[in-house]
Amino acid sequence: MNFWFAVFRQTGRNLRQTWTSQFMTFLTVSLSVLIFAFFYLIYTNMLGAGDRLSDDLRLIVYLEDEPGPQMQEQLRRKIQNFDDVEDIHFISKEEAYQRFAMQLGENSDVLQDMPTNFLPASIEVVPLKSLRGYNQIKLFSEYLANLPGTEKVQYGQEWVERFYYFTRLLTIVVFLSGTLLILTATFMVAYTIRLTIMGRQDELELLKLVGATNSYIRMPFLIEGILQGFMGSIIGLSALYGLFQWITAHFTGPGLLSLFQFSFFPPGVIFLIIMSSICLCSIGSYTSIRKFLRI
Amino acid sequence: MIEMIKVSRTYDPNITALSDISLSIATGEMFFLIGRSGAGKTTLLKLICNMETPSNGLIEVAGYNINKLKGKDLAHLRQKIGVAYQDFKLLSNRTVAENIAIAMEVSYKNPRTIRHRVRDLLDQLQLVDKHDTLTGELSRGEQQRVALARSVANSPRLILVDEPTGNLDASTTRRVMELLTRSNKAGATIVIATHDDSIYQQGNHRIMELRDGNIHSLTRGSLK
Ligand SMILES: Nc1ncnc2c1ncn2[C@@H]1O[C@H](COP(=O)(O)OP(=O)(O)OP(=O)(O)O)[C@@H](O)[C@H]1O
Ligand SMILES: [Mg+2]
């Protein structure tokens, strides 16, 4: 009969004998995976939304006067002095009026009595994709505001600011829940395996005496850890998927969430989470084996 | 099978359990070890199966220096040595069948082979009805037989038996000896430590008497 059959039989015995603490560990691991994956999912979706938002990010520089061609050239140069930009687009008063009318559509007749130059001329600056982060954009807008002849700069400051701080907060939460996952997975697994080992000293002792190889004695505990990691992450992720389905079914539609295009993890990330969970739990069981299994 | 050269074993506060024992036991031999309580019989058996290490001297079992063996090699050698301990070392919360099976499981025997072998041994030792009893609930004499069954279960090349008949009546003693004799006929080397002169007087096996850790005499049983 082969080694693996014997090892799995031994693992089954371990599990049967200590199933209550095994079950508690399994629940803790699942819950940690769920918590971590939950925040991580929100985080990745936020990042996705952030990408989409910053794709559309434009700084509008309102000007006091309509710039002549010479002035335009000068402004363009000054803007590019700060940083390369994706695009610079001058909008004359006339153009601004046209756009506004277009946006109003059917209601454009309210503009009938207005002069076509009542809107200020502006420059639309599309920053480079590499210009990320709230601080850089803020610096850039301050620079633009100090150009000669500018009135003010707009880019949805409040929105960008809040979004930026929320992502920062989420980064911290993801980090913390990741730490929680690492701690629970390694320590809980190490603890239950320690419990099993302690409860069965006499058997492990006897196994040695009747000629069990070290791997035959150790492997079941390692498999236990791997199983905990595997099952825990599968259940944790499945719970999250259920939650995700429920949320998308109840909260999508025209609203804030649709802006985010909430999406679940791609297979690669799922695989990675499962693998890390398995790794962490194996590390937990391995440390216990090293510490308490004197062979 | 066993070579011991000037083997001594002392325990910490200058207790000499064994001193300068030189001994050679041939393959296929049945060898008796006798002596008063505390003479060093158990210590000698423990040295042979590497449960204890000698303070001095050299022990070779099946051509291996047993104290230099490690890891897999030691495990494989131990699978070939069956030991019935004086304190039995049974797992009291496991059944009789499970206790016997352990010795075969470590060499990855087929579960069906294990089942048959366990039934066969229990039959020979009149324990069939205890198959599923926890060993903690057995009498001393029953535990003793389970320990013996476990030691011979994996058909080892060397069987070390410590006090196999201490708690048994005459007819059960006979069955135990029949089992050991059968293993011996099948080629196993057997070393038995005992007080029971009824078992070592019935053959022409070599008998070594220990006294205070020394070899007192080495004789042969008087063949009836
Ligand atoms: N672990 C130990 N620590 C200290 N002394 C020990 C230890 N094991 C055995 N001894 C001592 O070694 C001596 C021999 O003991 P051993 O168990 O070999 O005797 P024995 O011949 O098997 O006796 P019995 O017939 O009662 O089983 C005894 O004096 C005993 O007290
Ligand atoms: Mg003894």
The ligand placed nearest to the CA atom of residue B33 is 1
Chain A residues whose CB is inside 8 A of the B116 CB are: none
At residue B132, the pLDDT reads 94
pLDDT in tens, A147-179: 888 888 887 777 777 877 888 888 898 899 889
pTM (2 decimals)? 0.78
pLDDT in tens, B93-122: 899 999 999 999 998 988 999 999 999 999
CA distance from start to end of chain A = 24
pLDDT in tens, A34-66: 999 999 998 888 888 777 777 777 888 888 888
Residue % of chain B over a pLDDT of 90: 69
Q: Which of A7, A10, A203, A209 to mutate to test the interface with B (most CBs of B within 10 A)?
A: A209
At residue B8, the pLDDT reads 92
Number of the ligand 1 atom closest to the C-alpha atom of B213: 14
- Ramachandran angles phi, psi of A127, nearest 5°: -70, 160
Consecutive H or E run containing A145: helix A134-145
A contact residues 75-104, partner B, Cβ 8 Å cutoff: none
Q: Where do we find the tokens 């070779």?
A: B60
The C-alpha atoms of residue A59 and residue A122 are separated, in whole angstroms, by 10
With a 6 A CB cut-off, is B21 part of the ligand 1 pocket? Answer: no
In three-state secondary structure terms, B109 is coil
Comparing A99 with B35, which gets the higher pLDDT?
B35
Alpha carbon A27 to chain centroid, angstroms: 24
Q: Which of B25, B26, B19 lies closest to B57 in space, CA to CA? A: B19
Q: Where do we find the tokens 């060898």?
A: B31
Decide if A65 contacts A149 (C-beta within 8 A).
yes
At residue B224, the pLDDT reads 46
Domain edges within chain B = 2-80+156-220
| Residues sharing a CB contact under 8 Å with residue A82, sequence separation 6 or more, in sequence order | A140, A143, A144
Residue % of chain A over a pLDDT of 70: 94
In three-state secondary structure terms, A246 is helix
With the CA atoms of B208, B212, B213 and B217 taken in that order, what torsion angle do they form, in degrees rounded to the nearest 10? -20
Decide if A138 contacts A150 (C-beta within 8 A).
no
> Given an 8 Å threshold on Cβ–Cβ distance, is B75 in contact with A214?
yes
Q: At what angle do helices B140-153 and B96-105 cross, to 10 degrees?
A: 20
How many angstroms separate the Cα of A248 from the Cα of each of A45, A254, B96?
A: 13, 12, 58
> Given an 8 Å threshold on Cβ–Cβ distance, is A213 in contact with B106?
yes
* Closest chain A residue by Cα to residue B108: A1
Domain edges within chain A = 3-53+164-292, 58-154
Q: What is the rounded average pLDDT of the residues A116-144?
A: 79
Size of interface A-B (CB pairs under 8 A): 57
Phi-psi category of A227—alpha, beta or left, where left has phi over 0 and alpha has psi -120 to 50?
alpha
Q: Is the pLDDT of residue A294 over 70?
A: no
With a 6 A CB cut-off, is B9 part of the ligand 1 pocket? Answer: no
| A212 close to B (CB below 8 A) | yes
Q: Which of A250, A279, A276 lies closest to A262 in space, CA to CA? A: A250
At residue A1, the pLDDT reads 57
- Give me the residues paired with residue A45 across strands: none
**CATH of span A58-154:** 3.30.70.3040
Decide if A123 contacts A66 (C-beta within 8 A).
no
Comparing A278 with A168, which gets the higher pLDDT?
A278
| Residues sharing a CB contact under 8 Å with residue A138, sequence separation 6 or more, in sequence order | none
Numbered residues of chain B with Cβ closer than 8 Å to any chain A Cβ: 49, 51, 71-72, 74-81, 83, 89, 91, 102-103, 105-111, 113, 150, 154
Q: Which of A16, A200, A202, A213 to mutate to test the interface with B (most CBs of B within 10 A)?
A: A213
Q: Are strands B56-61 and A85-91 parallel, antiparallel or unpaired?
A: unpaired
Question: How many other β-carbons are positioned within 10 Å of the β-carbon of residue B203?
Answer: 17
Query: Average per-residue pLDDT in chain A?
Result: 84
> Given an 8 Å threshold on Cβ–Cβ distance, is A202 in contact with B103?
no
The C-alpha atoms of residue A93 and residue A116 are separated, in whole angstroms, by 7
pLDDT-based confidence at residue B127 (cuts at 50, 70, 90): very high
Q: What residue's CA is closest to ligand 1, atom 4?
A: B11
The C-alpha atoms of residue B44 and residue B213 are separated, in whole angstroms, by 9
pLDDT-based confidence at residue A131 (cuts at 50, 70, 90): low
Range B2-80+156-220 classified under CATH 1.20.120.1200: no
